[in-house]
Amino acid sequence: MEVPLKPLGKEDTRKLELALIFGTLMRQDVLEKIRNAEDKITWLDSLIIASGALARERAGMPVTKIAEELGRTEATIRNHLTGKTEAGKIVKETYELLVKNGGKLEFLIPGGEEIEKLRRENEELKKKIENVKQALQSLLSTL
């Protein structure tokens, strides 16, 4: 999925926001932090708010408007955007990964390389099975 890194409208902003949320939550280090967090709901909320704030900032929205839309104080939004909060830092890292990968979200899915390796192995096994079937059919037809 291609993600707009500099959103030009509400739809693009929403796409970036969702990519930041999804991409951040699927990171192995973040999953561990969530597992170990005492207050998981608050932590998840912070990640979601930080994602929304960053997406809106990239769309050129002022902090006052972001705070209003997300129902948080301007100070909270600024803290997320400047990376003063852990959630803000993590979401910025996810954004940087998106930028580095040209706006492609696929690289953030855990096990992506492993899934691709298994897919290739599966295809190889299918070919081998097909070859065995053909050899058996050939053998049976000569009997």
* Portion of the chain with pLDDT greater than 70, in percent: 92
Nearest Cα neighbor of 23 from 45, 48, 43 is: 48
- Tens digits of residue pLDDT in 39-51: 888 889 999 999 9
Name the DSSP letter for residue 105. Answer: -
- Tens digits of residue pLDDT in 53-88: 999 999 999 999 999 999 999 999 999 999 999 999
Q: Give the sign of the dihedral formed by CA 19, CA 71, CA 58, CA 86.
A: negative
pTM to 2 decimal places: 0.73
